[in-house]
Amino acid sequence: MEVTFRCTAAVVARNKGHRAAAAVFGSTVEFSNSQPFSLSSLTRPPPNYPGHVSLTRIEKAALAIGSGLMSLRDPRRADLIAAFAEATATPYFIYRLRDAMLASPTGRRILRDRPRVTSTSLDLPHLRSLPARTVGRTYVAWLDREGVSPDTRAAVRYVDDAECAYVLQRYRECHDFYHALTGLPIVREGEVALKAFEFANTLLPMTGMSVFAAATLKPSERRRFAGVYLPWALRNGLKAGEVINVYWEEQLERDVDELRAELGVEPPPDLREIRRREREERRRRKEEGAASVGAE
């Protein structure tokens, strides 16, 4: 049925300008909806893929603002970061990434096969048996060292296009491969550096916003990030090939340095080693200070 909205506004004018406004609003104004309206139009459309939740533009904007602000307060909230990524990926950025995959023969195969990255699909025990410098061994060694699992990535829910939803899911599930490729640990400083690399390579807004988390780092970490890791991330992210087009499942037995060279990614300075040396230096200074006090 067609619905006509009717509103009457009585305006009391005190001067000439207000009398002009009263002339407009003092009469009855009608707004006629040109499209048929029914209660069924208030319900959400059916999902485009399992788990999909369709949101209006206003709902997506609210989700983006709310999850973005809250994740800045607590960067450890992976659920908020995931929601922000999905709410801001459309209408442009995820399509750009999808088109980059369509422009690559390997990317097109990934879109056709739609592989998933899980502890079952990768056979982690087998990866641990591979030679030390292979992609698979480097990846699983990084997982073991950091104590993480590939099964913890949330499913994409708020991207309407099913193919684009898979692209974002693929990016999300391959995040740990990017860690292994670069050698960056999952400490906050390493995560911010990797997000800067991902932003330069993918242009996803969530990765760019995550770089602002550098403001929460300790002063020494901020200086190191600004002087070392941010320049590295931007330089390598821009010059590297589209990492979304790496068919990681087919690269597991390949030499990791060979893949880095092919992609144009130079490993950054070892962040864990730098942090270890700094801890030892602080401990040495503390012991020397205590010894000098005791000598006095």
Asked if residue 289 has pLDDT above 80, the reply is no
For the segment 264-285, the average pLDDT, to the nearest whole number, is 82
Cα 64 to Cα 70: distance, rounded to the nearest angstrom: 10
Cα 243 to Cα 174: distance, rounded to the nearest angstrom: 9
Cβ-contact 243, 201 below 8 angstroms = yes
pLDDT digits (tens, 9 = 90+) for 200-229: 999 999 999 888 888 888 898 899 999 999
pLDDT digits (tens, 9 = 90+) for 234-257: 999 999 999 999 999 999 999 999
Does 160 show up as a binding residue in the annotation? no
Cβ-contact 198, 176 below 8 angstroms = no
Across the chain, mean pLDDT equals 82
Cβ-contact 130, 253 below 8 angstroms = yes
pLDDT digits (tens, 9 = 90+) for 4-38: 333 333 333 334 343 333 333 333 333 344 444 44
Does 191 show up as a binding residue in the annotation? yes
Kindly state the tokens that stand for 227: 């002087």
Cα 264 to Cα 203: distance, rounded to the nearest angstrom: 18
Name the more confident of 277 and 243: 243
Does 79 show up as a binding residue in the annotation? no
pLDDT at site 294: 63
Closest CA to 116 of 247, 296, 261: 247
Asked if residue 262 has pLDDT above 60, the reply is yes
b/e 166-182 (16+ beta carbons within 10 angstroms → b): bbbbbbbbbbbbbbbbb
263 alpha-carbon distance from chain centroid: 21
Does 175 show up as a binding residue in the annotation? yes
Enumerate residues 6+ apart whose C-beta is below 8 A from 59: none
pTM: 0.78
Phi–psi pair at 134, nearest 5 degrees = -80, 160
For the segment 70-81, the average pLDDT, to the nearest whole number, is 78
- Other CB atoms within a 10 A radius of the CB of residue 3 amount to 11
Cβ-contact 192, 184 below 8 angstroms = no
